[in-house]
Amino acid sequence: MLKVPPHQVAGHEAVDGKLGPLVDESGRFYKPLQDDERGSNEVAFYSSLSTNSGIPEHIRRFFPTFYGTQLIEASDGSGLKPHLVLEDLARGQVNPSIMDVKIGSRTWAPEVSQKYVEKCLKKDRESSSLPLGFRISGLQIFRNKELGFWKPGKKAAQKLSTEEVKLVLRRFVSSNTLNDLDLEPDCGLASTVYGGSAGILSQLLELKAWFEDQTIYHFYACSILLVFEKELALEGRNPNAQIKLIDFAHVNEGRGVIDHNFLGGLCSLIKFVSEILTAPNEYKTEVSAKDGQKNLINTDNGVVADQENLINSGNGVVADQKNLTNAVNGVS
């Protein structure tokens, strides 16, 4: 039986009669091919990845397993449609915390139309993509069984300012239950999730080492998905923290040139994650130095003006505007 992915955090969604991905019980994720060249590009990328002997084995694990394409009933009722068949990265996870981080300060490939450049540039400007080289496309953070997930709307997630992105990266690995009384995230799970030889930082560094050398592909508008099971981390067990690259509709040939756009964004993400490990309390200092809530709320890109999207969190976690503002800013 195909169903809407229970843990999708960004991208096109199979809701309200729209076209989006589906999952089955055997652990497969079916992503519909978009009718334009984005669909064929993504198939071409996965096919090339499967056959390219230049990709080291330890790097292949950062990509979802690809099982080809299949005609299945599309979620929008339009009938049979070709779908990419991928490994479901949330399979077997009970309450996964997930963050989709779109890498690169520039999200369009060369030789696209001026209209498309303008569309992307607008989003890059309105998000942290330009200043940071990446943006959070969407996320969910498990709080606890009673409260469920903290899942801000996609639009609001994408408009987080630099300070808010730093806060959310801390919040992602915090063990406090993230309600409006939390003054700041405790980063209690940082060493288990971000740190250690199998942790997210170590994986990001491994990926970076490949990007410092590889000239096969240029990954425009591609994301790194960060996933882990918070409940396992809280129990002191291995939280299965992993990073995976997803969304290859805009991958181009590298033609002997390193992917400096992706590499720059990856280094920027690595820097923030490293800082959380070395100085988990630094955010507290920044907040007080900036007169706390007032300055953080009045961000220059209007995150808090987008309250409606944040409140409409899909699973009703954020109950009201006040909680939301506090949730985003980490202040009460």
Ligand X SMILES: O=P(O)(O)O[C@@H]1[C@H](O)[C@H](O)[C@@H](OP(=O)(O)O)[C@H](OP(=O)(O)O)[C@H]1O
Ligand Y SMILES: Nc1ncnc2c1ncn2[C@@H]1O[C@H](COP(=O)(O)OP(=O)(O)OP(=O)(O)O)[C@@H](O)[C@H]1O
- Using CB under 6 A, list all residues that contact ligand X: 38, 123, 137, 154, 221, 249
* Gap between the Cα atoms of 214 and 209, Å rounded: 9
- Closer residue to ligand Y (CB): 176 or 242: 242
Smallest distance, ligand Y to C-beta of residue 242, A = 11
Contact of residue 306 among ligand Y, ligand X, none (CB under 5-8 Å per partner type): none
- Closer residue to ligand X (CB): 221 or 241: 221
Contact of residue 89 among ligand X, ligand Y, none (CB under 5-8 Å per partner type): ligand Y
* Gap between the Cα atoms of 91 and 82, Å rounded: 22
- Closer residue to ligand Y (CB): 86 or 331: 86
Contact of residue 154 among ligand X, ligand Y, none (CB under 5-8 Å per partner type): ligand X
* Gap between the Cα atoms of 214 and 216, Å rounded: 6
- Closer residue to ligand Y (CB): 165 or 287: 165
- Closer residue to ligand X (CB): 121 or 234: 121
Contact 128, 165 (CB under 8 A): yes
* Gap between the Cα atoms of 328 and 325, Å rounded: 5
* Gap between the Cα atoms of 262 and 300, Å rounded: 25
Smallest distance, ligand X to C-beta of residue 316, A = 21
Directed axis angle between helix 260-278 and helix 200-211, to 10°?
A: 150
Residue 281: both structure tokens together: 């309390």
Contact of residue 22 among ligand X, ligand Y, none (CB under 5-8 Å per partner type): none
Provide the 8-state DSSP code for 3: B
Smallest distance, ligand X to C-beta of residue 120, A = 7
In this chain, which residue has its C-beta nearest to ligand Y? 11
Contact of residue 286 among ligand X, ligand Y, none (CB under 5-8 Å per partner type): none
For residue 286, which of 135, 166, 176, 194 has the smallest C-alpha distance?
A: 166
Query: What 3-state DSSP class applies to 292?
Result: coil
- Closer residue to ligand X (CB): 102 or 143: 102
Smallest distance, ligand X to C-beta of residue 36, A = 9
Q: What is the DSSP string of 52-65?
A: -TTS-HHHHTTS--
Smallest distance, ligand X to C-beta of residue 105, A = 15
- Closer residue to ligand X (CB): 137 or 299: 137
Q: Which residues contact 311 (CB under 8 A, 6 or more apart)?
A: 153, 318, 320, 321, 324
Which residues of this protein are in contact with ligand Y, per CB under 6 A? 5, 8-12, 21, 29, 31, 64, 86-90, 98, 100, 137-138, 223, 225, 246-247, 249
**CA-CA-CA-CA dihedral for 328, 301, 321, 272, to nearest 10:** -10
Contact of residue 284 among ligand Y, ligand X, none (CB under 5-8 Å per partner type): none
